[in-house]
């Protein structure tokens, strides 16, 4: 079943009187439960594409559909609701709250969604267990390694059981071995729970494990294995 559809999307940034075309006439579809890897050189439009898919930035032309609904034709408040409910984000930098423990950080999206704290805490503990941090739950981010911090960020992204996980170079700051561990955890959790996963990475071998590879080049997309 189709979950995301990008239809003739162009994104142009205006900066210092100049137009930067970050995406040019991009079209593709993705099915629910699929795992997609996005590859491409720096500046090719990967992050721009991810923000468009996640309801964070509107295209200059074209449409983005999620579950058949045109995201950027919704009123802002409704789009915000969809975004919070449907998407989990993992970025290159973890953006964890330094004063909170790993467990508390993971519960945060649940609290924002006004879920009962006990329910949030139980799910957060289960997620931290699954990402391999059962002995680190009451540590603060500053007491964790870079890889552990990113594992917490992965758990946090899954807190509200989003249907779609968008990860933008989640291992960009980590060594190869640590990076592999993070990707394993992301993959396992998404597959186990049937979530759609879209990962931007520079690590090409990851493409072998994906259902689709989207390769970006100067704002244009080639989709393989659809
Ligand atoms: P990638 O993630 O593949 O490195 P980006 O999507 O970040 O690529 O950027 C694509 C192009 O758009 C680049 O030329 C970049 O400089 C430009 N760009 C990205 N974000 C902005 C912005 N907020 N304002 C102006 N130009 C931007
Ligand atoms: Mg980027």
Alpha-carbon distance 9 to 105, whole Å? 35
Residue 226: predicted pLDDT: 52
Mean pLDDT of the chain: 94
Residue 122: predicted pLDDT: 98
Residue 205: predicted pLDDT: 85
What number of other Cβ atoms are within 10 A of residue 14's Cβ? 9
Q: Whose CA is nearest to atom 13 of ligand 1?
A: 43
Question: Ligand 1: which of 10, 48, 53, 60 to mutate, most ligand atoms within 8 Å of CB?
Answer: 48
d(CA 142, ligand 1 centre) in Å? 30
Q: Which residues of the chain have pLDDT under 70?
A: 226
Domain locations in the chain? 2-225
Which is the CATH superfamily of the domain at 2-225?
A: P-loop containing nucleotide triphosphate hydrolases (3.40.50.300)
Residue 14, ligand 1, Cβ within 6 A: no
d(CA 168, ligand 2 centre) in Å? 7
Beta strands in 178-225 (DSSP E): 196-200, 212-217, 220-224
In the structure, ligand 2 is a single-atom ion and the residues with CB under 5 Å from it are: 46-47
Residue 173: predicted pLDDT: 85
Q: Whose CA is nearest to atom 26 of ligand 1?
A: 13
What are the structure tokens assigned to 121, written together? 């805490």
Residue 103: predicted pLDDT: 98
Burial class (CB in 10 A: 0-12, 13-18, 19+), 64: buried
Atom number, ligand 1, closest to the C-alpha of residue 48: 6
């Amino acid at each position: 079943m189709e979950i995301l559809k990008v239809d003739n999307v162009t994104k142009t940034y205006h900066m210092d009187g100049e137009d930067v075309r970050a995406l040019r006439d991009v079209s593709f579809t993705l099915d629910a439960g699929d795992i997609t890897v996005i590859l491409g050189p720096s500046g090719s439009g990967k992050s721009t594409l991810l923000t468009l898919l996640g309801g964070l930035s509107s295209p200059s032309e074209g449409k983005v559909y999620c579950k058949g609904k045109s995201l950027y034709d919704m009123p802002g408040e409704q789009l915000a609701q969809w975004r919070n409910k449907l998407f989990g984000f993992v970025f290159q930098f973890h953006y964890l709250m330094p004063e909170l423990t790993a467990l508390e950080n993971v519960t945060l999206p649940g609290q924002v969604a006004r879920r009962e704290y006990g329910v949030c805490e139980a799910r957060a503990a289960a997620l931290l267990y699954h990402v391999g941090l059962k002995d680190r739950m009451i540590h603060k981010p500053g007491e964790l390694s870079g890889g552990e911090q990113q594992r917490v960020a992965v758990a946090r992204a899954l807190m509200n059981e989003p249907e779609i996980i968008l990860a933008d170079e989640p291992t960009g700051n980590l060594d190869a071995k640590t990076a592999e561990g993070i990707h394993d955890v992301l993959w396992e959790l998404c597959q186990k729970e049937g979530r759609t996963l879209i990962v931007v990475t520079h690590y090409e071998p990851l493409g072998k494990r994906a259902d689709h590879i989207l390769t970006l080049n100067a704002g244009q997309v080639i989709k393989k294995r659809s």
